[in-house]
Amino acid sequence: MLLVRRFEERAGRAYTQALIGGYLHLNLGEEAFVVGAAAAMKPTDYLFTNYREHGFAIARGADLGRVMAELYGRADGLSKGWGGSMHMFDLEHRLMGGYGIVGGQLPLATGAALAIQYRGGSEAVVATMGDGATNIGAFHESLNIAALWNLPVVYLVDNNELGMGTSVERSSAQPDLHKRAAAYRMDSARVDGLDPEAVYQATRHALTRARAGRPFLLEVMTVRLKGHSVVDPAAYRTAEESAQALARDPLDRLARQLIVEGGASQDQLDLWERQAHDAVAQAEQFAKASPLPPVDALFDHTYATPVPNESRRLPGDPLFETPPEATCRRPNDLDEGGPAASSPYSLPQPVAA
């Protein structure tokens, strides 16, 4: 949890330094959910998630330097620099992608569960989503199919109480999101997402049910310490609400619990802090040293297998190749009798016999 927190803080700083482009959505405040859920999964299980996925990549075991390099858009990144913050992919650890479309991962996760069932596998699929994704059609379609076909999939709702800037109470007629599973006769539960052990136990139970052919909907109650993304000032929160969110910080809560229960001393916590700081610093240096992807590799990995007549046209390139002898007269040339001018966008002209 500490490693994810320090990584995300460093990533946020790098974004303000223009070292990271595009969008950046951080797991700040959701580390207990991320680590607890990932710990409950087997290495062979598949994870589909949304654009807030850096922590999941780390928790699943992805190399810290490669995660940071992906944020930097470098060739050594998890997705070779093409995915950036929102589209990480790591087949080795069965992270099947972060998806920028809200809920876009849900049909894909459901399809992966169907493939497992069809092949007679023992794996399971975990699909995480934000609370806002429970209001889209793909959510209901996915749950309906999973329940009908008894697919080995767990749907995890990260309920941080805000869909971007709108509260769940204002956007959902049924704000107890786990209860929506009742419409599909699917088992469900709600768990404290600030307690990593509780999330671990609940996710493990859900995965056990899923492997037995009973898909599961688990609502995890978390907190978002910052705005929706790094450019969101969270002006929709009052000062009191922001203070309440900070008071629920799962890292502070776990640190106090470890000391009280004798699980760790302050010296141990300080050691973990230094180790996390050093690991993130090394990841940052790795990312900075990684080369940018070459322009001639722009169209690599577009398809899994070669595709005939695949276009590799770069921006600014002509749509069609023009024969050298093909010319097009500009209007002023025609009016003034000037010379013909070649144009990369000209149409082939008739050639005299």
Any domain includes 304? no
Residue 321 has pLDDT above 70, yes or no: no
Give me the CATH number covering residue 61.
3.40.50.970
SS3 168: helix
pLDDT of residue 88: 94
120-159 residue pLDDT tens:
999 999 999 999 999 999 999 999 999 999 999 999 999 9
168 with 261, same domain: the answer is: yes
Q: In the numeric block, which tokens belong to residue 47?
A: 């994870």
Q: Where is average pLDDT lowest: 4-8, 177-181, 222-226, 280-284?
A: 222-226
Any domain includes 205? yes
pTM for the whole structure: 0.86
Any domain includes 310? no
219 with 249, same domain: the answer is: yes
11 with 57, same domain: the answer is: yes
Average pLDDT value for the chain = 90
186 with 224, same domain: the answer is: yes
The number of domains in the chain is: 2
Any domain includes 307? no
345 with 292, same domain: the answer is: no
Map 76-144 to HEC letters. CCCCCCCCCCCCCCEHHHCEEEEECCCCCHHHHHHHHHHHHHHHCCCCCEEEEEEHHHHHCHHHHHHHH
Q: How big is the chain, counted in residues?
A: 353
230 with 323, same domain: the answer is: no
270 with 323, same domain: the answer is: no
Any domain includes 270? yes
Residue 343 has pLDDT above 70, yes or no: no
- Residue 340 CB partners (closer than 8 Å, separation 6+): 327, 328, 329, 333
pLDDT band, residue 327 (cuts 50/70/90): low
201 with 331, same domain: the answer is: no
153 with 292, same domain: the answer is: yes
Quickly tell me which residue has 């005299």 as its tokens. Answer: 352
